[in-house]
Amino acid sequence: WRERSLSPEQRSLLHSLVEQAGDRRGAALFALGYWAGCRVSEVSWLQMVHTHVGPQEGWLHVGYKGSKWRDIALMDEARKPLYAYLQATGDTGRTYVFLSQRSERLTEEAIHYWFRKLKALAAKAQFPVIQHLTFHDLRQDFAYRAREAGWSIEEVANYLGLATKKGALSTFL
């Protein structure tokens, strides 16, 4: 068992790796996990019609897992990279937000692969700090940071699309 939150060193290292990679799609993927707490499946299956992002504000209609659909407002830290990615790709007629060269959408497996490649950019001495992290850890760290910022357990649960039964929440938060 390890803590549900990332350490300050892990956060800093991941942020610098995303910046170092200089990839708009990667920055948007990271932002939705880290700054919006999205599940891998929600990111993979996110459709253009459910993505309402502009230069000043944004929100998403996310779901997929067990049909738990919800609307989430995006903080600027999540909205800006997603907006930049959408502006760069330009094809607004496509079905899915995140494209793949191999299929019409970026699969969950491809997102996990991207995250492993991102971690591999770390210097040899830094890699052990993040080697065991997964994309899901970004979601859990979002929940931790939201609670630290004063959100109630119910607010975090609603935002993340979690059942509000005590048992389900305590295993997550």
- The pLDDT tens digits for 115-171 are 999 999 999 999 999 999 999 999 999 999 999 999 999 999 999 988 765 555 555
Q: Is the predicted pLDDT of residue 95 greater than 90, yes or no? A: yes
Could you count the other beta carbons within 10 Å of the beta carbon of residue 173? 16
Spell 113-152 as b/e; 16+ CB within 10 A means b.
ebbeebbeebeeebeebbeebebebbbbbbbbbbbeeeee
C-alpha 113/C-alpha 27 separation (Å) is 15
Q: Of 139, 146, 167, which Cα lies nearest the Cα of 65?
A: 139
Architecture in CATH of 8-172: Orthogonal Bundle (1.10)
Cα 93 to chain center, whole Å?
Answer: 23
What is the DSSP annotation of 94-122? SSBSS--SSSSS--HHHHHHHHHHHHHTS
What's the mean pLDDT in 60-65? 82
Contact of 75 with 31, CB cutoff 8 Å: no
Identify the H or E element spanning 51. strand 51-53
What's the mean pLDDT in 76-99? 94
The CB-side HSE value for 69 (13 A sphere, CA atoms) comes to 7
Could you tell me the two tokens for 34?
């880290």
| Backbone angles phi and psi of 135, in degrees to 5 | -60, -35
Q: Is the predicted pLDDT of residue 30 greater than 70, yes or no? A: yes
Sketch the domain layout of the chain as residue ranges: 8-172
What's the mean pLDDT in 79-100? 93
DSSP code at position 75:
P
Q: Which whole-number Å values give the CA distances from 139 to 20, 123, 130, in the listed order?
A: 22, 24, 15
What's the mean pLDDT in 51-68? 86
pLDDT number for residue 173: 55
What's the mean pLDDT in 63-84? 88
Mean of the per-residue pLDDT values for the chain? Answer: 90
What's the mean pLDDT in 80-108? 92
pLDDT number for residue 3: 45
* Confidence category of residue 2, pLDDT binned at 50, 70, 90: very low
pLDDT number for residue 172: 54
